[in-house]
Amino acid sequence: MRARELARAMPTVAVDTDAMQAAQLMAAERLPGLIVCREDGRPYTILPGSQVLRFLIPTYIQDDPRLARAFDEKASDEMVGKLARRTVHDLLPKPQDVDELPVVDGDATTVEVAAVMARMHSPLVAVVAGERVLGAITVGRLLSHLLSATSPQR
Amino acid sequence: MRARELARAMPTVAVDTDAMQAAQLMAAERLPGLIVCREDGRPYTILPGSQVLRFLIPTYIQDDPRLARAFDEKASDEMVGKLARRTVHDLLPKPQDVDELPVVDGDATTVEVAAVMARMHSPLVAVVAGERVLGAITVGRLLSHLLSATSPQR
């Protein structure tokens, strides 16, 4: 089994997509992350949902989440307002924080997909063929394949 | 809105649950992780799916996923066999790797939940009330709440 056979379609956004639109897409589809493409459509990276939160939540509260208790609903609305007039590019981790990406080639074996997820602690990898995004594989789907291959049914 | 209102039921396992059973549960329900409870039922930690893969995949392949190409289907089956006669406890990261857990109190505010997810890069937090697990909140659900609160519909 190759990565291209396990991949499922997943919405993609571009680096210049409106940040609020991207967050709303993730929220509406209950996705743990989105595939981000370059302006020319080539796959670029994954935007994890937790990264959107890292952009929204003030650093001092990330450092000590108990301080969030001083935030009322109005302050919380203002925080989400930080997404206005921003793009996906603004949400992504700074390049120096990212040395590699959870992206595999369509020909990758399931063990290779598992190795990339394990190495990067990622619940999701994007599957690409050259300059085209084929879809994504979640950790649940990959485990399901790895385990069913060893069950007596097969 | 408090964490207890956003939490949804999620299957839990115990530290002494059979490792293969836990992996099969994650696979069958397509979950990105499981809540792990102590033998006495008190919440203990989260087992992310990627951690199961870290247990299965040999370290040298995690270090260089391209080496996975030398793995055939039979080797892959043997790898999954490592789950036999193991418990969830064996899959968890060693205590020295974990300084805190993605767990919040039922009374936590949504901003506090967001801060914990952001800080820990976690797509999921467990919600507890004292010694009881109330459920879990995914990043998609949290974003959905944070964004809808600022939309004109409300």
Does residue B14 sit within a domain? yes
- Beta-carbon-side half-sphere exposure of residue B137 (alpha carbons within 13 Å): 35
- Is residue A36's pLDDT more than 60? yes
Domain span at residue B74 reads 3-148
What is the Cα–Cα distance from B109 to B104, expressed in whole angstroms? Answer: 9
Greater confidence (A32 vs A82) lies with A82
Contact A65 B115 (CB under 8 A): yes
Q: Would you state the pLDDT for residue A16? A: 94
What is the Cα–Cα distance from B2 to B14, expressed in whole angstroms? Answer: 26
Residues 9-68 of A with CB under 8 A from B: 20, 23-24, 26-33, 48-54, 56-57, 61-63, 65-66, 68
H/E stretch holding B88 reads: helix B88-91
- Pair of tokens at residue B154: 């409300």
Question: What total number of domains does chain A contain?
Answer: 1
Q: Residues A71-87, buried b or exposed e (16+ Cβ, 10 A)? A: beeeebeebbebbeeeb
The CATH number given to whatever domain includes residue A18 is 3.10.580.10
Q: Would you state the pLDDT for residue A98? A: 54
Give the chain A residue whose CA is nearest to the CA of B23: A143
Nearest CB among B77, B118, B123 relative to A150 is that of B77
Q: DSSP labels for B29-56?
A: TT-SEEEEE-TTS-EEEEEEHHHHHHHH
Q: Evaluate whether B118 touches B110 at the Cβ level (below 8 Å).
A: no
- Pair of tokens at residue A2: 């190759």
Does residue A153 sit within a domain? no
Under DSSP, is residue A98 helix (H, G, I), strand (E, B) or coil? coil
Does residue B154 sit within a domain? no
Mutate to test the interface with B, among A72, A146, A153 (most CBs of B within 10 A): A146
| CA distances for A24 relative to A35, A51, B61, B90, angstroms | 14, 14, 36, 38
Question: pLDDT class for A46, splitting at 50, 70, 90?
Answer: confident
- The DSSP letter of residue A40 is T
**Residues lower than pLDDT 70 in chain B:** 95-100, 149-154
Residues 93-132 of A with CB under 8 A from B: 104, 108-112, 114-123
Q: Evaluate whether A111 touches A104 at the Cβ level (below 8 Å).
A: no
Does residue A42 sit within a domain? yes
Counting residues of chain A whose pLDDT is more than 90, the rounded percentage is: 44
User: How confident is the model over A92-109, as pLDDT tens digits?
Assistant: 987 645 556 788 999 999
Question: pLDDT class for A152, splitting at 50, 70, 90?
Answer: very low
Judged by average pLDDT, the poorest of A19-23, A44-48, B14-18 is: A44-48
Give the number of other CB atoms < 10 A from CB of residue A103. 20
Does residue B153 sit within a domain? no
Does residue A135 sit within a domain? yes
| CA distances for B115 relative to B46, B91, B110, angstroms | 17, 26, 9
User: How confident is the model over A119-147, as pLDDT tens digits?
Assistant: 888 878 889 988 888 999 988 899 999 98
Does residue A89 sit within a domain? yes
